[in-house]
Amino acid sequence: AQTVTQSQPEMSVQEAETVTLSCTYDTSESDYYLFWYKQPPSRQMILVIRQEAYKQQNATENRFSVNFQKAAKSFSLKISDSQLGDAAMYFCAYRQKGGSEKLVFGKGTKLTVNP
Amino acid sequence: GAVVSQHPSWVICKSGTSVKIECRSLDFQATTMFWYRQFPKQSLMLMATSNEGSKATYEQGVEKDKFLINHASLTLSTLTVTSAHPEDSSFYICSASEGRGYGYTFGSGTRLTVV
């Protein structure tokens, strides 16, 4: 079974600085999707960024980018120029391509942004 | 973008009664919907996967007779918590997939309190 591990229960960053959240996963599949979701205090889950495993180029969305290392099964999220609104729980998630569409979530990392 | 509406956002019910939570995809047809439960400061736990017109697939350990899921149309899935007890108090979240791996859109969640 696929598993997703987020080894940092909590992280903090100063406003305007850069922070990287770690995520590793375990799968025997060669093609799959990886996601980072943000859950602010409102508890609304928001998609931050998405990566398809067959695409070697790292996904970017404005201040958010990933470092996808397929061989190492690593999918870290980098947040640049951190803003107070980035404070939230961040969940890494995996989904196989084809078959079950269900997401497998990591336990999450709580990010605090200090002014 | 895709929007999923979840109602109610919070509900208080008496022990022994049933509560229905609705999840609607507003601007797309959701081939698959998912129901999660989230305990405080924890990750999302998948309860079941529902496909339009067929029986839901429940995760191991989830009582299908207690958590009734109906996916009667491509835009509506409901979760009914039957004979609710205080231990059923939790945050319930639905999500919907368009079935193309683009990601999942989440509802805003329902906080259920059973007294």
Q: Does residue A70 register a pLDDT over 80?
A: yes
Exposure letters B48-69 (e unless 16+ CB within 10 A, then b): bbbbbeeebebeeebeeeebbb
Predicted confidence at residue A99, as pLDDT, reads 74
What the block records as the tokens of A93 is 């998630």
Alpha-carbon span A82 to A49, nearest angstrom: 16
Predicted confidence at residue A110, as pLDDT, reads 97
What distance in Å separates residue B35's CA from the closest CA in chain A? 10
* Res. A98 pLDDT band, cuts 50 70 90: confident
Predicted confidence at residue B97, as pLDDT, reads 82
Minimum mean pLDDT among A17-31, A94-108, B9-23, B56-70: which range? A94-108
If DSSP codes are grouped into helix, strand and coil, which group holds residue A84?
helix
Predicted confidence at residue A80, as pLDDT, reads 98
What distance in Å separates residue A43's CA from the closest CA in chain B? 7
Q: How many residue contacts between A and B have a Cβ separation below 8 Å?
A: 50
A95: nearest CA partner in chain B: B101
* Res. B99 pLDDT band, cuts 50 70 90: low
Predicted confidence at residue B101, as pLDDT, reads 61
- Mean pLDDT of all residues in chain B? 92
Predicted confidence at residue B15, as pLDDT, reads 97
pLDDT digits (tens, 9 = 90+) for A44-65: 999 999 999 998 899 999 999 9
Alpha-carbon torsion A13, A48, A108, B37, what sign?
A: positive
Predicted confidence at residue B60, as pLDDT, reads 94
Predicted confidence at residue A108, as pLDDT, reads 97
- Mean pLDDT of all residues in chain A? 95
* Res. A17 pLDDT band, cuts 50 70 90: very high
Q: Which residues of chain A neighbour B109 with C-beta distances below 8 Å?
A: 43-44
Predicted confidence at residue A20, as pLDDT, reads 98
What distance in Å separates residue A40's CA from the closest CA in chain B? 11
Q: Does residue B102 register a pLDDT over 70?
A: no
- Best residue in A101, A107, A110 for a mutation probing chain B (most B CBs within 10 Å): A101
Alpha-carbon span A65 to A82, nearest angstrom: 12
Share of chain A above pLDDT 70, in %: 100
Q: Residues of B at the A interface (Cβ-Cβ below 8 Å)?
A: 32, 34, 38, 41-44, 46, 49, 91, 93, 95, 97, 99, 101-106, 108-109
Q: Does residue B100 register a pLDDT over 80?
A: no
